[in-house]
Structure 1
Amino acid sequence: MLSDHSDIEENGGPSNRRSASPISEASDEGFFGLDDLLPEPESPLPAPYSFSTYELPADLELGTIRSRQLILRLVGSHPLWGHHLWNTARVFSTYLLRNPPLIKGRKVLELGAGAGLPSIVCTLGGSKQVVITDYPDTNLVENMRFNVDVNVAGDLRGNVDVVGHLWGHDVKHLMTRTENEGYDLLILSDLVFNHSQHDALIKTVNSTLSHKPDACILVFFTSHRPHLVKEDNAFFPRLAESGDGWVYQKVVEEWAGAMFEEDPGDVKVRGTVHGWKAWRVKDGEEPGQLNTIP
């Protein structure tokens, strides 16, 4: 059985991917532009796939979920870090399972999904429709489809779709899947570290979330670079000022352990997952942060 927090190479050998974070090695200034998001050309011998698992918490009833263990295949290597199952995604998935009204019977869109774990959990937890997206790269998209096929039974398979999407670009292919009504819940897991893409991400959020009173987005992240915490958190006031205005509120602060033990900076910062819920301003509300955890 695969370890809950393991990355196991397809050929059976242990992975050494906990030694250094690709995020920590990236330039701090501006981080990525769109040109930087283009995947590197494939090598003649691409890195092998690895596998990781997510275990449903023991205190959660399985309900219609058929297995307590989900198996996620990860691309062998990728400049967008789809080759990791991030601790944030684990915490995020558990939060979703513990809060079924957020997902049951709802239309869900995940942006920058990587392995797609939170989306798969939503599908198994009873979401009416789930659309899983990441950068429109063949390896990433096909790997997400593989994970859906492995973990989602045939009777639920019709409720989930996998497509590519580049933040800030045309969302017609996403909106047509909802008959242009938009999604009830948007999932953003470990995305805000990409500071130069905040505006593009916010544009997609404003373009795809429905205008139903209970529609919201969930933004979970870990500050893997402690000296850039302020830049990570800058996403939220920028979101609040966009569109018709947004309110955001912290819903989770949980220690999950540092992904990469040898990275620099405060390990407590690098190992803490922060979860935020945000929604469009309602009557009587002002854009900005609510200071209480519900």
Structure 2
Amino acid sequence: MLTNTIEELDPRSESDPATVFEDSLSTIFSDPRVQHGEPGKYVLYKSEELGDFKLRLADPDPSNHSLFSHFVWNAALQAAELITTAEFNVAGKKVLEVGAGAGLPGIIAVYCDAEETVLSDYPVPEFLSNIQTNLEINLSRSQLARASVIGHEWGQTDDRLCTTRAGAFDKIIAADCLWMESRHDNLAKSVKTLLARDGELLAIAGFHTGRDKVAGFFDAAERAGLVRVKITEKDVEGAEREWVRDRGQEDPVERKRWLAIGVFRQNGL
């Protein structure tokens, strides 16, 4: 099960009423958690192929809590799995992770022989320094030489990242970055600017904030000129099914078990 690959290293007390309540709900309703960890605490990602990765979660200023970079989301776990199995093959490629949060997919990309990996997030010090900390915890000196961190606000194509690295990245990863509808066009604009010719975007998101929001970004990507390669749905148990824009009235608990996995390509013409 996807959520079995991560555990909290600094969990709240088992007697904490909030913990007891959450665990009870999960047991009774088979309600998988979509987010993992607590601000300023550590989680452990466990990969059968690559080993264990210790990740610190950011402890942002309250004004930045709404960006939700202080959790690891199921979409990041799924991205890490796809990179590890080479279903999204990064070997020998220049990779960018946007909205990196704790940086798990980017770190896995380094381990899977990406030529270069750049991890980006909203340009505030507590986010960027936290990603750098996770690189230093998990990467060797030689691996650190192939990884870097940079701030980027989506849609700001006149910043340092976009002006110095336009068209530079063979692979871009966006894991659970799609819940802000007002930022869809900006995110698509950044991806379009930074993706190399014939480069690919991996965009993964859960349905916990609604299917319409996920579909909205896929539409934005195509409006920006990216070409849809495929979109599928996968649940936390590994079952797959066809992507459907509207499944009618979905059970809110069952919906949380599923992720949309979209791959888009930069038109090479």
**TM-score when normalising by structure 1:** 0.71
1:201 to 166, 187, 198: 187
Structure 2 residue identity aligned to 1:249:
K
1:169 maps onto 2:156 in alignment = yes
Contact 2:9/2:42 (8 A) holds in 1: yes
Contact 2:59/2:126 (8 A) holds in 1: no
Per the alignment, residue 250 of structure 1 pairs with 231
2:44 to 37, 53, 56: 53
Q: Deviations over 1:221-275 (max 9, x none)?
A: 10113xx3123212112211223x5224125513269xxxxxx952121121221
Matches within 5 A, 1:2-151: 4-9=5-10, 13=13, 19=22, 49-56=40-47, 58=48, 60=49, 62=50, 68-76=51-59, 78-99=65-86, 102-151=89-138
Per the alignment, residue 28 of structure 1 pairs with none
- Measure how far apart 1:282 and its partner are: 5.8
Q: Deviations over 1:132-153 (max 9, x none)?
A: 0011111111000000000011
Instruction: Indicate how the Cα distance of structure 1 residues 139 and 80 shifts in structure 2: closer, same or farther if over 3 A, else same.
Output: same
Q: Deviations over 1:190-209 (max 9, x none)?
A: 01111110011011011100
Provide the rounded CA distance (Å) in 1 between the counterparts of 2:97 and 2:268: 24
- Measure how far apart 1:130 and its partner are: 0.7
Per the alignment, residue 178 of structure 2 pairs with 192
Aligned to 2:201, what secondary structure does the other structure show? strand
1:241 maps onto 2:223 in alignment = yes
Provide the rounded CA distance (Å) in 2 between the counterparts of 1:220 and 1:205: 14
- Measure how far apart 1:48 and its partner are: 6.3
Per the alignment, residue 292 of structure 1 pairs with none
Which piece of structure 1 moves more, 166-175 or 155-164? 166-175
Instruction: Indicate how the Cα distance of structure 1 residues 187 and 199 shifts in structure 2: closer, same or farther if over 3 A, else same.
Output: same
- Measure how far apart 1:4 and its partner are: 4.5
Instruction: Indicate how the Cα distance of structure 1 residues 233 and 181 shifts in structure 2: closer, same or farther if over 3 A, else same.
Output: closer
- Measure how far apart 1:171 and its partner are: 5.0
Aligned to 1:216, what secondary structure does the other structure show? strand
Provide the rounded CA distance (Å) in 1 between the counterparts of 2:162 and 2:6: 35
- Measure how far apart 1:177 and its partner are: 5.7
Contact 1:247/1:280 (8 A) holds in 2: no
More strand per residue: 1 or 2?
Answer: 2
Q: Which runs of 5+ in 2 are unaligned?
A: 23-37, 239-249
Off by >6 Å, runs of 4+ in structure 1: none
Contact 1:256/1:272 (8 A) holds in 2: no
Q: Which runs of 5+ in 1 are unaligned?
A: 20-46, 63-67, 258-263, 284-294
Provide the rounded CA distance (Å) in 2 between the counterparts of 1:162 and 1:13: 34
Structure 2 residue identity aligned to 1:220:
I
Aligned to 2:219, what secondary structure does the other structure show? helix
Per the alignment, residue 201 of structure 2 pairs with 217
Contact 1:168/1:199 (8 A) holds in 2: yes
Structure 2 residue identity aligned to 1:53:
L
Percent identity, aligned pairs only, is 24
Contact 2:234/2:259 (8 A) holds in 1: yes
Cα RMSD, aligned residues only: 2.7
Aligned to 2:128, what secondary structure does the other structure show? helix
**TM-score when normalising by structure 2:** 0.77
